[in-house]
Amino acid sequence: MKGTGGAGQLLDELAELIRSAQTLLETTGAGGAHRRDHEHGPGAVEGGLDAAAERLRTAQEELLEHARNAWTGTERYLRKHPAQAWGLAAALGFLAGIALARRRGPD
């Protein structure tokens, strides 16, 4: 999933971190069978990475579901109340213009 910012970007970065850690474990041979039985060895780290990756997948799915629900609700509202939606967009644009003009200061 490619996030557009905020939580999506954080999830993308966590996923990349987990992939990098798993690649590191694989390339260094840290996941050897004789070491996996050790409680705090590389096998435990690999198991922790697998669990983290699963939690990340679950979080991604939940985030996507919330985003879909929010979009559907917004779309439904806009279709039912188009005049109010245009009015709100105009008001927000006006306020953004005022804020930007104040930020720039006098010319």
pTM above 0.85, yes or no: no
**pLDDT for 52-100, tens place per residue?**
778 888 888 888 899 999 999 989 988 999 999 999 999 999 999 999 9
Total tally of structural domains belonging to the chain: 1
- Asked if 11 contacts 59 with a C-beta cutoff of 8 angstroms, the reply is yes
Identify whether the C-beta of residue 8 lies closer than 8 Å to the C-beta of residue 63: yes
Tens digit of each residue's pLDDT (9 = 90 or more) over 20-58: 777 777 777 655 544 444 455 556 666 777 787 788 888
Tokens of 60: 């991604």
Does residue 27 lie within any of the structural domains? yes
Residue 84 to residue 77: CA distance in whole angstroms: 9
Which residues constitute the domain of residue 17? 7-80
In a domain, 85, yes or no: no
CA distance 62 to 55: 11
Determine, yes or no, domain membership for 20. Answer: yes
Q: Does any domain span residue 21? A: yes
42 in a domain, yes or no? yes
Q: Is residue 103 part of a domain?
A: no
DSSP 56: H
In a domain, 40, yes or no: yes
